[in-house]
Amino acid sequence: MTTLRDIARWRLRSQLLDAPAGAAEDVVRTMLAVQAENPAQSAWAVAARTASPRVGDLAGALSDARVVRTHVLRPTWHYVHADDVRWLIELTAPRVLPVFDQQLRPSADRMVALTDAIAHAVAGGTGLTRPEIAIALAEAGLDLPSSQLTLLLGRLELQLLLTSGVPRDGQHTYALLAERVHSAETVDRDEALANLALRYLGAHGPATDRDLAYWATLTLTDARRGIAAVADRLESFDHDDRTYWHHAGGYGAETTSSRGRGAAHLLQILDEMYRGYQDSRWALDSEGIVPRDREASMGMVLCDGQLVAGMRRSVDTRRALFAIAPHRPLTVRERAEIQKAAARCAAFLGVEPQVEFASA
């Protein structure tokens, strides 16, 4: 019988935390989309899924536009592989765009002029930052409040006009999608739904149809339609009145490697291990020890696939401080695994680790 703990362990492997990929580009391609609202934290979300985390790995993929950082899904920032960005946005944007349009009503009468001015400003370059775009709009007599500009840039990403340019001094830039991503492949909607379901369940499974609908901002009907289209390549099992889907011949809970058994992972609260689900998110807490009323920490500590503590990470030029707030008393082994995970993250950041445990 598969338990919630088994499901969480299984996800460690399907999400590459227990079976890491070779490079950041491989991680993003496998995961299909990795939430990237916080660039510093999300860089570790990708690096943590590689065998040898390197700061320049993801940065190089972003600079070369093999990976882009753009608005898609729910809607928020995600890393997406260049080969997937067009069809994924085309499929999911119709349900996301109304969120932007409603908030952009104050600027609706200038939308065409604003769009043309932004496209002209970024054309032919490696990318402009948001403040630089604001200056270009002001020079064109199209001043726009900062909050409206932020929304407009997200909308233009969902309309496949803009995407991420070359990062500059750690800052996100915007460029024309057509100049950065040269793949013009279009995918039929039914094919896209099938591909989405297969890719999501391969990288996040076992998961439910409601998890897929939440992650991709689809209707439940469309999520089920996608799953049905690839059902011959999937397997399922029932637990606690939910049906969980995964790739046929997938890892299985019993195949989680020794690295996953008991290993710790220090992740942001926006990580796919948490944000990648809604319906079955709490497989991470099979014992029900984590408060459900609010997300108290920016980070989380997983041990053996279970959320055992909140975590706050602060970094300066010499050290990375990991402040651990346990949800229950931690074992000696768990504390040792957390120390190891902190050392791995600090090495990626190029500083020394320091771990401080609060009382449970």
- What pLDDT, on the 0 to 100 scale, is given for residue 213? 98
Distance CA 222, CA 113 (A): 35
Instruction: Name the residue with tokens 């007599």.
Output: 141
Rg of the chain taking only CA atoms, in angstroms: 21
State both tokens at 336.
Answer: 């040792």
Residue 250 confidence (pLDDT) above 90 = no
SS3 (DSSP) at 18: coil
pLDDT at 1 over 80: no
The pLDDT of residue 209: 98
pTM, rounded to two decimals: 0.94
Is a pLDDT exceeding 90 seen at residue 252? no
- pLDDT at site 360: 76
Q: How confident is the model at residue 258 (pLDDT cuts 50, 70, 90)?
A: very low
Mean of pLDDT values over 270-278: 96
Is omega for the bond preceding 106 within 30 degrees of 0, making it cis?
no
Residue predicted with more confidence, 253 or 88: 88
pLDDT at 296 over 80: no
Is the separation of the CB atoms in 327 and 360 below 8 Å? Answer: yes
Under 8 Å between Cβ of 38 and 63: no
Closest listed residue to residue 216, CA positions, set 232, 198, 236, 233: 198
CA atoms of 354 and 346, how far apart (whole Å): 9
Distance, CA of 13 to CA of 33 (rounded, Å):
17
What's the token pair of residue 285? 């807490």
Alpha helices in the chain (DSSP H): 4-14, 24-31, 39-47, 55-63, 85-103, 111-122, 130-139, 146-158, 177-180, 189-204, 209-216, 220-229, 272-275, 332-349
β-pair type (319-326, 162-164): unpaired
Please say whether the dihedral angle defined by the alpha carbons of residues 45, 63, 73 and 232, taken in this order, is positive or negative. Answer: negative
pLDDT in tens, 150-208: 999 999 999 999 999 999 988 999 999 999 998 767 789 999 999 999 999 999 999 99
Local structure of 311: helix, strand or coil: strand
Mean pLDDT of 339-356: 98
3-state secondary structure of 325: strand
The amino acid occupying position 48 is A
pLDDT bin (cut points 50, 70, 90) of residue 257 is very low
Tokens for 263, please give them.
């290993």
Its sign, for the CA torsion 55, 274, 302, 208, is negative
Task: Report the share of the chain in percent with pLDDT over 70.
Answer: 95
90-137 pLDDT, tens digit per residue, is: 999 999 999 899 999 999 999 999 999 999 999 999 999 999 999 999
| Closest residue by Cα to residue 218 from 103, 102, 91 | 91
- Beta carbons of 125 and 165 less than 8 angstroms apart: yes
Q: Report the pLDDT averaged over residues 138-144.
A: 96
Average pLDDT over residues 335-354: 98
